[in-house]
Amino acid sequence: TTVLLDSEDEPPPAEQGGDTEPEGEVETVRFSRVEVLSSKDFGECTEEELNELTKMMAQLKFTTFRRLSRRQIAAKRRGPRPDVARTVRWALKHQGEPVRRAFTKPASRPRRLILILDISGSMEGYARALIRFVHAAVVARGRVEVFTLGTRLTRITRQLNNRDPDAAIDAVTPEVRDWAGGTRIGEALRQFNDDWGVRGLARGGVVVILSDGWDRGEAEILGEEMERLHRVTHQLIWVNPLKASPGYAPLAAGMAAALPHVDTFVSGNTYRSLERLASILSGAIPTR
């Protein structure tokens, strides 16, 4: 006989007398609620479970790929460029003898992270969890931009800056007027490329599109805009909650048109899959 218990529960007291005691050995199996939630599909989560997942997402480490900057910093060892000023200062401490030479190296800084969340009707079951994920990314680090796409593109970075997730989502609601509506991914990406991406926001950055790829627009437009975006980004990542479904294949016209221009294609239907995404963004998991 197997008895399942939550990790916080106490084993039930043994029954006194009678024939209610199970025959044979009783095996008690404890399970962690966190472990269960980590693997539960977002589309099946209750509001209470989503609130618990929000707290878990706040613990994720949102680092990302780094890029070299023009600023120079002191090198601990021999570097590519001599630091004359520091070398002279050291020499003055030794009667003018340059007994030690100093060097500099280029500084690095995190690449900008751009998150584009599909909030159309087909994504409704997942968008309510993924909006919490993008909020956690905004409050955890700088240089993050967030957009929603449905029938149009909406920038929601400022609304998500509030550290309170409930207040942040409440601020987003009146701004996103096409929530659970149709999908025009190609047209929305064209607007992003024209107004934001190609002009500089996405140049050299990491762009993450969170979408199931169902597009009511023309697949050719989506393919063209993905190609434009891919040319200017450092990494272009597509997160599709349907990818984890048994037997999934990217047969939808929109997804098929986008995939040739994607560097990394991952699932995004559970907390565990978002943990993996965070590891990819940090460079801990190779993307190619």
pLDDT tens over the chain, length 288 residues:
444 445 555 555 555 454 555 555 555 444 567 788 999 999 999 999 999 999 999 998 887 666 556 677 677 777 777 877 777 777 777 777 776 777 777 666 788 999 999 999 999 999 999 999 999 999 987 789 999 999 999 999 999 999 999 999 999 999 998 888 888 999 999 999 999 987 789 999 999 999 999 998 899 999 999 999 999 999 999 999 999 998 888 888 899 999 999 999 999 999 999 999 998 887 756 555
Q: Report which DSSP code applies to 94.
A: T
Q: Which spans in 116-210 are helix H? A: 124-140, 165-172, 185-192
Identity of the residue numbered 188: A
Q: How many CB atoms lie within 10 A of CB 42?
A: 23
Torsion of CA 268, 154, 261, 230, to 10 degrees: -120
Rounded CA-CA distance 77/210 in Å is: 42
